[in-house]
């Protein structure tokens, strides 16, 4: 069983990113298990805590270690990634030499209620993941614009072209993960 962590960049309840991620995981084939990873409860990373590691850090790091791959679904905040997502990446990559993200194949899905579709967040996240040594799906790039117009009241994608696109990105990601299996 391949275990895929789903990290939602937004910590808002029932966010567009969360709704989108719930649609994406429905396309996983047999043999793949999705686990939503909570990041809202992580205290801000401070190097001083490396001497007295908070329990929540240890739990989070062990959860990430147990994953085979990671999908990030995020909005854009001020042309970059949300602070909670950056903090989670920092918590998992510290102390230096203890990077739990190392080598895990990643997919980035950015979304926005605007036409920009989280482009800035997507590319800033790519920079961070490159430093964390996470191979990232390069094609297809996944930017979901006007996300609020694509989601029904039940959180399901209503546009069939978008459904088909999401299915194709999961297929591409599964093939990417298989190429990176140890």
Distance in angstroms (rounded) separating the CA atoms of residues 173 and 166: 10
* pLDDT at 16 exceeding the cut of 80: yes
Question: For position 117, what pLDDT does the model report?
Answer: 87
pLDDT digits (tens, 9 = 90+) for 52-65: 999 999 999 999 99
Q: State the Cα–Cα distance between residues 38 and 57, nearest whole angstrom.
A: 11
Q: 16-25 vs 160-179: helix axis angle to the nearest 10?
A: 70
Mean pLDDT of the chain: 96
pLDDT in the model for residue 105 = 98
The string of pLDDT tens digits covering residues 107-158 is 999 999 998 889 999 999 999 999 999 999 999 999 999 999 999 999 999 9
Contact 39, 85 (CB under 8 A): yes
**CATH numbers and ranges of domains, the chain:** 2-179 (3.40.50.360)
């Amino acid at each position: 069983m391949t275990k895929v962590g789903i990290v939602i960049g937004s910590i808002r309840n029932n966010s567009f990113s969360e709704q989108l991620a719930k649609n994406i995981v429905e396309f996983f084939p047999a043999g793949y298990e999705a686990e939503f990873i909570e990041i809202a409860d992580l205290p801000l990373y401070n190097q001083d805590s490396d001497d007295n590691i908070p329990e929540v850090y240890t739990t989070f790091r062990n959860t990430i270690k147990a994953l085979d791959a990671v999908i990030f679904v995020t909005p854009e905040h001020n042309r970059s990634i949300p602070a909670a997502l950056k903090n989670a990446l920092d918590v998992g990559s510290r102390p230096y030499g203890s990077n739990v993200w190392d080598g895990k194949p990643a997919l980035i899905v950015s979304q926005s209620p605007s036409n920009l579709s989280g482009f800035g967040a997507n590319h800033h996240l790519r920079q961070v993941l490159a430093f964390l040594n996470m191979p990232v799906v390069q094609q297809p790039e996944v930017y979901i614009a006007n996300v609020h117009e694509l989601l029904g009241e039940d959180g399901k994608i209503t546009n069939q072209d978008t459904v088909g696109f999401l299915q194709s990105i999961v297929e591409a990601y599964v093939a990417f993960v298989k190429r990176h299996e140890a």
